[in-house]
């Protein structure tokens, strides 16, 4: 009986966390470059049940295996989906979109991924697909969160104003003729990245990703005046949210049924 309490409760917690993840996806459906999370739900280690025949306690060979029993589930992790989103034209010079052409992955990933290189407030390297840039009061090209956008030498890009051009191969030219090559990083295993907040990612081990310009077999282009939309499928996300809610509700009713049974056992049957 008590085992049923824990199993139903774990199901409720799992669906609650999945709903929170899906809600975050939906809230960022209009965030440029946002990558939707997918949940990985696993069962707890299963119990192997055996039946011991009468008068055979000393003889293990007489034990009959009944089968395994699951003891609940949990949401192991939220895995970002790095598939490229649709590219939308904005006609703003400060909007840039990374368009993947050929981006090979490792043995476990069909495709790798490309990112803009961003420097956060602590001076550490971060990576983003959000190309909604702007030029701050000092002329630095910055991301939407105010962090510096870096060039291919990992230096901030300083311009005189927002009148600049970016070629398909990443050459940024200001109206004063100064040129930079926009920093673009490549990883063959995007699942090795960790979310760092503000739509940014970092390497798990703290290492720096290699430049996409020097990576073998990688081809891409930059499009000025365009933005990559999020890859959230709103219709699918809403359907999954409803399914998660129904599953939560079903586990809740099971928990209530167990509670009523325990109440009857303690207050009615126990008096007999």
List CB contacts of 165: < 8 A, sequence separation 6 or more: 93, 172, 173, 224
pLDDT of 41 reads: 85
Domain of 31? 1-81
Would you write out the chain's pLDDT as a tens digit for each of its 272 residues? 567 788 888 899 999 999 999 999 999 999 999 999 999 888 776 666 666 666 555 555 567 777 677 778 888 888 999 999 999 999 999 999 999 999 998 877 788 999 999 999 899 999 999 999 999 999 999 998 899 999 999 999 999 888 999 999 999 998 888 899 999 999 999 988 999 988 899 998 878 999 999 899 999 999 999 999 999 999 999 999 999 999 999 989 988 888 888 777 777 765 65
Examine residue 268 and state whether it is found in any structural domain, yes or no: no
Q: Give the count of domains, the chain.
A: 2
- On whether the pTM is more than 0.85, the answer is no
Shared domain for 127 and 22, answered yes or no, is: no
Same domain, 60 and 106: no
- In a domain? residue 48: yes
């Amino acid at each position: 009986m008590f085992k049923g309490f824990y199993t139903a409760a774990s199901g409720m917690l799992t669906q609650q966390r999945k709903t929170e993840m899906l809600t975050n996806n939906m809230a960022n459906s209009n965030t440029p470059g946002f990558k939707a999370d997918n949940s990985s739900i696993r069962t707890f280690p299963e119990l192997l049940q055996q039946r011991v025949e009468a008068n055979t306690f000393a003889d293990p060979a007489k034990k009959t295996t009944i089968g395994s029993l699951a003891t609940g589930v949990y949401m192991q992790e939220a895995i970002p989906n790095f598939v490229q989103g649709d590219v939308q034209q904005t006609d703003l010079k400060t909007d840039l979109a990374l368009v993947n052409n050929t981006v090979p992955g490792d043995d476990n990933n069909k495709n790798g991924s490309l990112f803009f290189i961003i420097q956060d407030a602590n001076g550490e390297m971060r990576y983003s697909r959000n190309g909604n840039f702007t030029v701050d009061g000092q002329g630095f090209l910055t991301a939407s969160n105010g962090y510096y956008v870096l060039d291919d030498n990992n230096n901030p890009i300083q311009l005189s104003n927002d009148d600049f051009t970016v070629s398909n191969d990443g050459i940024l030219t200001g109206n004063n003729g100064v040129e930079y090559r926009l920093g673009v990083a490549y990883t063959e295993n995007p699942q090795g990245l960790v979310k760092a907040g503000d739509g940014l990612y970092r390497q798990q081990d703290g290492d720096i990703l290699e430049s996409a310009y020097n990576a073998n077999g990688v081809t891409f282009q930059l499009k000025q005046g365009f933005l990559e939309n999020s890859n959230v499928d709103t219709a699918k996300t809403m359907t999954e949210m409803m399914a998660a809610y129904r599953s939560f509700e079903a586990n809740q009713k099971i928990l209530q049924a167990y509670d009523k049974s325990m109440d009857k056992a303690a207050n009615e049957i126990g008096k007999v």
